[in-house]
């Protein structure tokens, strides 16, 4: 349980003042933005595309729906959503980091995804949208970087229309015996070296590995979603629990 008097939070394995985390996370993503898509492919050996495809299938998007993609980065999920909801619907691609958001906007424009897409720079903890504005809210590989996760989940619930659904795609805790040791070896030996060789930034990728270990496990995150007011919460483990997709309904 968090001590109310403790005004610090995790930044990887470090403890930092709560007000400092967003600045440090911002610096990480400013650094990795230019190589973000390439590094995603290298780090996951392309499997991140399957995780995102599964998330889109689980979303069961219908034409005409209003969708918000938080921490949307370079727009992988938003592109798939825009195709599924069609011209009669709308997708808001949102991220707190302006550099990541600019790359996402340019990437989607180059891919011809523009007609039903809006780009908004926003903090997931204080969304600039009215109550019940969306049918679906997603956050992919972004919740672990949020300083106040309960606040972000509460905001996701607030902006969902009654019956709307939320999806959280995030790294989680391996559920296959022995996989955690292999995963740790890969995360702390291979990923920082890849970061150094490809992006000339070992520290940012070490932080990313550490932030995964500090993120709530599957059951804890499900409880956090329930505490935020979501109903029928559950999760699907992918790749042995290395990644999980949580779903809840408003």
Check the annotation: does 180 bind a ligand: no
- Render pLDDT for 166-199 as a digit per residue (tens, 0 to 9): 999 999 999 999 999 999 999 998 888 888 888 8
CA distances from 157 to 31, 69, 72, 148 (A): 31, 13, 18, 15
Checking if the pLDDT of 81 tops 90, the result is yes
- Which tens digit of pLDDT belongs to each residue from 204-248? 889 989 999 999 999 999 999 999 999 999 999 999 999 999 999
- The reply to whether 8 sits in an annotated binding site is no
Task: Give the model confidence (pLDDT) of 105-128 as tens digits.
Answer: 888 888 888 789 999 999 999 999
Has residue 3 got a pLDDT over 60?
Answer: no
Pairing of strands 160-171, 243-249: antiparallel
Nearest Cα residue to 33 out of 120, 109, 107, 92: 107
- State the pLDDT at residue 29: 85
Question: What local confidence, expressed as pLDDT, does residue 176 receive?
Answer: 94
Mean pLDDT estimate for the chain: 92
Return the residue matching tokens 């109903």. 231
Q: What confidence score (pLDDT) does residue 74 get?
A: 86
Where do the domains of the chain lie, and which CATH numbers do they carry?
8-176+206-249 (3.40.50.150)
Q: Is 82 annotated as a binding residue?
A: no
- Confidence at residue 1, expressed as pLDDT on a 0 to 100 scale: 41
pLDDT at 243: 97
72, 63, 75, 74: which is closest to 127 by C-alpha? 72
Q: What is the C-alpha to C-alpha distance for residues 235 and 54, in angstroms, rounded to an integer?
A: 12
| pLDDT confidence tier of residue 5, bands split at 50, 70 and 90 | low
Residue 2 has pLDDT above 70, yes or no: no
pTM of the model: 0.92
- What confidence score (pLDDT) does residue 225 get? 98
Q: Is the pLDDT of residue 43 over 70?
A: yes
69 assigned ligand-binding residue: no
Of the two residues 114 and 142, the one the predictor is more confident about is 142
């Amino acid at each position: 349980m968090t001590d109310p008097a403790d005004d610090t939070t995790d930044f990887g394995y470090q403890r930092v003042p709560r007000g400092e985390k967003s600045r440090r996370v911002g610096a990480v993503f400013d650094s990795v933005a230019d190589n973000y898509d390439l590094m995603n492919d290298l780090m996951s050996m392309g499997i991140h595309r399957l995780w995102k495809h599964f998330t889109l299938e689980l979303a069961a998007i219908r034409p005409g729906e209003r969708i918000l993609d938080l921490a949307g980065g370079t727009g992988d999920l938003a592109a798939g959503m825009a195709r599924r909801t069609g011209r009669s619907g709308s997708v808001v691609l949102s991220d707190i980091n302006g550099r990541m958001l600019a790359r996402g906007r340019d990437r989607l424009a180059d891919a011809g995804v523009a007609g039903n897409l809006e780009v908004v720079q926003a903090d997931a903890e204080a969304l600039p949208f009215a109550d019940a504005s969306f049918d679906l809210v997603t956050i992919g590989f972004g919740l672990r970087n949020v300083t106040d996760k309960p606040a972000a989940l509460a905001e996701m619930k607030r902006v969902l229309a009654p019956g709307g659904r939320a999806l959280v795609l995030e790294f989680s805790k391996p559920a296959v015996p022995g996989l955690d040791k292999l995963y740790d070896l890969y995360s702390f030996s291979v990923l920082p070296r890849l970061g150094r060789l490809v992006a000339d930034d070992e520290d940012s990728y070490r932080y990313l590995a550490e932030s995964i270990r500090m993120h709530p496990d599957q059951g804890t995150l499900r409880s956090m979603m329930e505490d935020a007011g979501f109903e029928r919460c559950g999760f699907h483990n992918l790749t042995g629990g290395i990644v999980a997709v949580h779903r809840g309904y408003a």
